[in-house]
Chain A
């Protein structure tokens, strides 16, 4: 992805700004370079573009951001404390509500962590079904993210409508398999809850084969669009070293050029048997993050076709694995997967009883927000909204 456009628009208006050492809540601000006053405004927590109840306290010099402090906790629902008071199986429905767009991958990450803790093996059919559902979730998430990002850019809902049209098709599949559109509660320790039928698999195959046509239609209007390129190229550049140090994971890290995809690095599930590429970006700006997600969707279609073709028979759940009365031996485990937003991990400490002694969620959106201020400094407020959109946060997992 080369940037052949001359320096216009967004690149010209980014100023080099060093954050000054004043306290946002202090009573006196230093004045701006131009001799005027600095203005502090709060973007959120109720804001059409902040993807949930997220608040950014920005200090502006004219239109330029000189300081940005994210404030969250507006959706802190003490998920971790609930996990300590609930059994291992009882926490599975709560994991649906973490990243509420991608319930299936949250379930899988939690199931992997408990399976590591208790030493449970998963039958092969269940591993393939998990891959199929995770890649369908990735398609859903990236389509909707592109829609929301375009809405932030000002496309006023049309790409979002198209994305939600495809999302509804995928949600129909989830509903017929697990009983619920969003809060699927589908994975179990040692497999999956329900075996997909041949009809369901046929429906999944048809959806997968038709998805490339949707992506072509979607990208025809968006990817080469000069307004989108002018608004997103050069905006919010994230250098690779900062990304690695800040614990950024997922498409945001890969857009900065770092080849780190847990499906390849950890090789969990049956991913080592599947053939797919990992797209990387050159510049680390908003456009690269959008393009990485578009290309990942194409790769996901390939993975889905392979998994649906190679799906073996067999049990869908390990019959010896305990679900309700699970009492793992005292110990701890950290299990993680490559969710659509990044590395989602669960850290569980067991004390031998039916409830965990410590239940911790490593949420990708929470850690990815560390560098929000670095990305937004020197940009305008309109760019900050787009940068936030490209980080792809969901407040359910930021605040837990």
Chain B
């Protein structure tokens, strides 16, 4: 299959109104991906499926990923001119910023006809609260039907253009999106002989847990035998 940079050039040249970014993959698998954004993405999908050089006729896997917002520290090197006659100095500054969270949908595409792949596509939503719509690829690859429903059910991503978008694994009256990182499980009390960590925190609401002398309330040390 052609290299991702070449494919990226072809897509940008053919479709105006989209942006294609190459997300490199640092792991030894080498499976880098293309991040698509903009409008008219379903046409891009049709092109990827029908182009004679690619013929990506099978969408093997659709995954939802939750990226909560996180703090990122950027290191910026600034060159400051020194006094006349002295060399300029390089000063490093650390800037903290908050990277906003988003929901991501990752598609793994393979070509059965030409025996090539995978091409990894990513679509990202605007944020994790109200702008959670992405175009659905079910009209292009039928295998996305159930898998996009699962991403909707467990993450809350709304797929515009999906023929039957409703919950698939949880029951219809269920109100939350359980695979998100900030999902809080219901307090479904269970007794454990040696609770620790999250289970200890939940168990405390139901029965008193005597603590060993010297132990703190820190969940990291809870459950450890004191010396």
Cα–Cα distance between A246 and B112 once the two chains are bound (Å): 12
Q: Are B112 and A260 in contact (CB under 8 A)?
A: yes
Cα–Cα distance between A371 and B27 once the two chains are bound (Å): 35
With known contacts A247-B142, A331-B26, A345-B60, A265–B178 Cβ distance under 8 A: no
Contact residues in A for B31 (Cβ distance below 8 Å): 332-334
Number of interface residues of B (CB under 8 A): 34
B-contacting 9-mer, from A70-78, A171-179, A317-325: A70-78
The one of A246, A345, A357, A370 in contact with B61, judged by C-beta atoms closer than 8 angstroms, is: A345
Q: Are B26 and A244 in contact (CB under 8 A)?
A: no
The one of A78, A334, A350 in contact with B118, judged by C-beta atoms closer than 8 angstroms, is: A334
Number of interface residues of A (CB under 8 A): 44
Contact residues in A for B60 (Cβ distance below 8 Å): 247, 249, 336, 343, 345, 362, 367
What would be 30 A-B contacts, judged by CB atoms less than 8 Å apart?
A: A73-B167, A73-B169, A116-B27, A118-B27, A244-B57, A244-B58, A245-B57, A245-B142, A245-B143, A246-B142, A246-B143, A247-B59, A249-B60, A258-B112, A265-B115, A329-B27, A331-B27, A331-B29, A332-B31, A334-B31, A343-B60, A347-B63, A358-B63, A358-B66, A366-B147, A367-B60, A367-B146, A370-B142, A371-B142, A399-B169
Contact residues in B for A336 (Cβ distance below 8 Å): 60
**B47-79 interface with A by 8 A CB criterion:** 57-61, 63, 65-66
* Contact of A81 with B by CB under 8 A: yes
Interface residues of B (CB under 8 A from A): 25-29, 31, 57-61, 63, 65-66, 106, 108, 112, 115, 118, 120, 141-147, 167-171, 178-179
Q: Are A370 and B26 in contact (CB under 8 A)?
A: no
What string of 1s and 0s marks CB contacts (under 8 Å) between A293-331 and chain B? 000000000000000000000000000000000001111
Instruction: Specify the main secondary structure of chain A where it touches its partner.
Output: mixed
Contact residues in A for B29 (Cβ distance below 8 Å): 116-117, 331-335
* Contact of A80 with B by CB under 8 A: yes
Contact residues in A for B61 (Cβ distance below 8 Å): 334, 345, 347, 360, 362
Contact residues in B for A343 (Cβ distance below 8 Å): 60
Cα–Cα distance between A77 and B163 once the two chains are bound (Å): 27
Cα–Cα distance between A333 and B155 once the two chains are bound (Å): 21
Cα–Cα distance between A57 and B29 once the two chains are bound (Å): 42
How many A-B Cβ pairs are below 8 Å? 105
Q: Are B27 and A119 in contact (CB under 8 A)?
A: yes
Interface residues of A (CB under 8 A from B): 72-73, 76, 78, 80-81, 116-119, 242, 244-249, 258, 260, 265, 328-336, 343, 345, 347, 349-350, 357-358, 360, 362, 366-367, 369-371, 399
14 new A-B contacts, CB < 8 A, other than A249-B60, A329-B26, are A117-B28, A118-B27, A244-B58, A247-B60, A247-B142, A329-B27, A332-B27, A332-B31, A335-B29, A347-B63, A358-B63, A358-B66, A362-B60, A370-B142
Contact residues in A for B141 (Cβ distance below 8 Å): 245, 247
Select the residue from B29, B57, B112, B171 with max chain A CB neighbours within 10 A. B29
